Amino acid sequence: MTAPLRTGEPAVVKVALGDRAYDIVVGRNALASLGQRVASLRPGAKAAIVTDDNVARAHLKSAQTALERAGISSSSVVVPAGENSKRISGFETVCEALIGARMERGDIVIALGGGVIGDLTGFAAATVRRGIDFVQVPTSLLAQVDSSVGGKTAINSQHGKNLIGAFHQPVLVIADTALLDTLPERQMRSGYAELVKHGFVRDAAFFSWLDNNWREVFSGGPAREEAVARSVAIKAAVVARDERENGDRQVLNFGHTFGHALEADAGFSERLLHGEAISIGMALAFSYSAAKGVMPTQEAQRAISHFDAVGLPTKLAQVTGGVSNADRLMDLMAQDKKVKRGKLTLILSRGIGDAYVAPDADPSEIRDFLSEQLAAR
């Protein structure tokens, strides 16, 4: 990472993927540099911005102005905010709009929004004319530290989330941390769960730093830029080693096998946001690791206490409306994409900063563990 942090200059994190390498620019007001950065990457290209109606009201004009100032003409596609836009019908709308705007292979599609917009736009960019370059401009904390980086793009099937997709790396990510100033507190906390996850899986020192500085991440001081930049640098390094998730990238799913089951059980509703689900999922993964004796109990407790301090849920009892029984949660985990040939793969922890892939996890042990956790409500 090249990181002139605290000087007003943005930090630039490199994703080292050979001829598909790209920069992640992290900084307050970095959106203003969108046009100049696109112009230097793709001189003469035109742009199409894909966004949702909420983000369009807040930030579309700024993105268009930044492009205009660099002499880039742009069209825009605005879809309704929310997960429903990640259906085949929403995908069709975006593809037809991009084709209608005469977007060619040398042009640039810009995803301006949260995770839904990034995933949908990235998949449309991967497929229209067999692939157009795209830029991610994530507007939520969750998208800035996770979904905008790494090239996973997807829409949902009737059978589950993100089941239709492609790996398509962006050519640039611009994470403007000032855009988070207006994000609702609950959304900030949800994104923070993915931010701190990168410390939990690969960087104990980053976690310790967050344990001291997390309040400033929320209040919007310089620690916010530093936290986002350090978090994405950890993800970028993992992605550079294992782009297609054949090995080490799986550790980024820490907390997600339990978490996705809880999200599905809550009907992917406002009852439980993604980051809240994986916060409980990570707390369960730490507790399970400690119960198996692979991680010191005290350290698991230190991690869980951090979530408690931040105001993220850590217990099944904290899910609004309750949780189904252990058998139902096991069924939901079995449907998760992390199941390989019927065996459950869990990401466990030997200690803060040291997550590992545990394939062939014993389903009966996990069911018993979940029953105990449910009984402890």
In whole angstroms, what is the distance from residue 279 CA to residue 368 CA? 21
Clarify whether 28 is annotated catalytic.
Answer: no
Residues 141-160, interacting with ligand GLY (CB under 6 A): 146, 150, 152
In whole angstroms, what is the distance from residue 284 CA to residue 277 CA? 11
Clarify whether 235 is annotated catalytic.
Answer: yes
Q: Are 132 and 105 in contact (CB under 8 A)?
A: yes
Which listed residue (225, 226, 243, 245) is catalytic?
Answer: 245
Residues 226-245, interacting with ligand GLY (CB under 6 A): 245
Clarify whether 152 is annotated catalytic.
Answer: yes
Number of shown-chain residues binding ligand GLY (CB under 6 A)? 6
Phi and psi at 369, nearest 5°, equal -60, -45
CB-wise, 253 or 289, nearer to ligand GLY?
Answer: 253
For residue 335, how many other CB atoms are within 10 A of its CB?
Answer: 12
Clarify whether 253 is annotated catalytic.
Answer: yes
Clarify whether 130 is annotated catalytic.
Answer: yes
In whole angstroms, what is the distance from residue 116 CA to residue 119 CA? 5
Give me the least distance between CB of 115 and ligand GLY, in Å please.
10
CB-wise, 46 or 260, nearer to ligand GLY?
Answer: 260
Tell which residue, 196, 120, 133, has the closest CA to residue 169.
Answer: 133
Which listed residue (198, 235, 306, 338) is catalytic?
Answer: 235
CB-wise, 226 or 245, nearer to ligand GLY?
Answer: 245
Clarify whether 29 is annotated catalytic.
Answer: no
CB-wise, 146 or 263, nearer to ligand GLY?
Answer: 146
Q: Is 346 helix (H, G, I), strand (E, B) or coil?
A: strand
For Cα atoms 346, 351, 352, give the angle at the middle one, nearest 5 degrees.
100
Which listed residue (37, 86, 202, 256) is catalytic?
Answer: 256
Which listed residue (46, 224, 230, 260) is catalytic?
Answer: 260
Q: Which two tokens stand for residue 62?
A: 């700024």
CB-wise, 165 or 222, nearer to ligand GLY?
Answer: 165
Give me the least distance between CB of 98 and ligand GLY, in Å please.
24
The distance in angstroms from the start CA to the end CA of the chain is 43
Crossing angle for the helix pair 297-310 and 204-219, to the nearest 10 degrees: 10
Among 42, 168, 230, 249, binds ligand GLY (CB under 6 A): 249
Please give the residue whose beta carbon sits closest to ligand GLY in the complex.
Answer: 252
Phi and psi at 75, nearest 5°, equal -110, 170
Which listed residue (37, 42, 86, 152) is catalytic?
Answer: 152
Clarify whether 306 is annotated catalytic.
Answer: no
- Residue 252 interacting with ligand GLY (CB under 6 A): yes
Distances (CA, A) of 340 to 9, 153, 246, 337, 343: 44, 21, 12, 8, 5
Phi and psi at 351, nearest 5°, equal 170, 170
Which residues are catalytic, by number? 130, 152, 194, 235, 245, 249, 253, 256, 260, 274
Q: Name the residues that contact ligand GLY, by CB under 6 A.
A: 146, 150, 152, 245, 249, 252
